Amino acid sequence: MAASIFTAVPRAPPVAVFKLTADFREDGDSRKVNLGVGAYRTDEGQPWVLPVVKKVEQMIANDNSLNHEYLPILGLPEFRANASRIALGDDSPAIKEKRIGSVQSLGGTGALRIGAEFLRRWYNGNNNTATPVYISAPSWENHNSVFVDAGFKDIRTYHYWDAAKRGLDLQGLLDDMEKAPEFSIFILHACAHNPTGTDPTPDQWKQIAAVMKRRFLFPFFDSAYQGFASGSLDKDAWAVRYFVSEGFELFCAQSFSKNFGLYNERVGNLTVVGKDADNVQRVLSQMEKIVRTTWSNPPSQGARIVATTLSSPQLFAEWKDNVKTMADRVLLMRSELRSRLESLGTPGTWNHITEQIGMFSFTGLNPKQVEYMIKEKHIYLMASGRINMCGLTTKNLDYVAKSIHEAVTKIQ
């Protein structure tokens, strides 16, 4: 029998976070804890379907006027308009001046990919694969992959995390922006930086914006946690709205996986802010061409859930309350873990756990300590020391805190 034409295909390494979950599932130890997965969990350790989502799903199921016809290539109009509105704010000058547009996408990743494909083709010249793309060190690993796969050849990192002080390296970040070639693209986390959970303050964002404006750098925001980080939609969108108020043209990739709990519906949006309506319409015309050969038309179910919720004052209020429930549980787990580590006298400082924001915390554990946690304690976390705060519950907090204490004390 002839050899397969695929014989030379190498096996790709597994995606780290999914491999971690698979290892967790196979672990038979009753004490096991999964702090790796990037999804919300209740205090019982279960996924949560938001009550407002259940209600809207029922409304959609009972609406006999709906059908399964194709959506427009750029997506459900009422979803796109409402998604951009919550990112930019009701009183956004860009919305009033009709210089915004949007593309419904397959999750936040799809929004990043469509934006990246467009920028490679049409930004800083035609098909300029040499435009530098700057990604924070560290960052969500998919940022690098999306821009590489879109054809960019010069992916660089900018300083972000200061390991010694377990906080933002603002000076390093600003220095990197000063040195970056003009028209470089910077991927910025709108809020709840993944994986560090450390965000610039409003004053620090102002300094970042000032350098970016002077150096003609392009801001591409990734907003995956609006509302989920602090419990406030407006607070979590502050950076994006400030950049718009400063006159930037920018992209903002939005995900509704976390703040609506719609992980498997793949609901995302790419918001485009331009100088005027004509520029935005031309950009959207090119994005339409990219979407046509990527997924052709987006799915409707998740987009309808979000659009229905955001366009009804009553449902919108219910949703904000649901989001605050999730955000408050995360904040509680942060304070509880910190207080336990401090009362145990765990070496080092642990204030960064409550100073960080959002789903993830960068614990500061090194790879050897992480290995100890997984092998000896059956607590699964990323090699970087990142933990998902939603994996903590009132039942496992003591065990996790004691295990971290042990790892830090025993393993250097």
Look up 295 and say whether it is catalytic. no
* Residue 389 DSSP code: G
From 222, 236, 238, 319, active-site residue: 222
* Residue 72 DSSP code: P
Residue 122 — φ and ψ, nearest 5°? -130, 0
How many whole angstroms separate alpha carbon 339 and alpha carbon 351? 9
From 199, 238, 258, 319, active-site residue: 258
From 140, 161, 319, 350, active-site residue: 140
Look up 43 and say whether it is catalytic. no
Residue matched to tokens 């914006």: 209
The count of residues in the chain is: 412
How many whole angstroms separate alpha carbon 262 and alpha carbon 252? 19
How many whole angstroms separate alpha carbon 270 and alpha carbon 107? 9
> Could you tell me the two tokens for 245?
């108020």
- Pair 272, 359: CB distance under 8 Å: no
How many whole angstroms separate alpha carbon 128 and alpha carbon 49? 43
Look up 222 and say whether it is catalytic. yes
Query: Which residue type occupies 232?
Result: S
Query: Which residue type occupies 74?
Result: L
* Residue 255 DSSP code: E
**With the CA atoms of 369, 361, 53 and 317 taken in that order, what torsion angle do they form, in degrees rounded to the nearest 10?**
160
266: left (phi over 0), alpha (psi -120 to 50) or beta: left
> Could you tell me the two tokens for 382?
């990323």
Q: Which helix (H) or strand (E) holds 176?
A: helix 170-179
Residue positions annotated with a catalytic role: 140, 222, 258
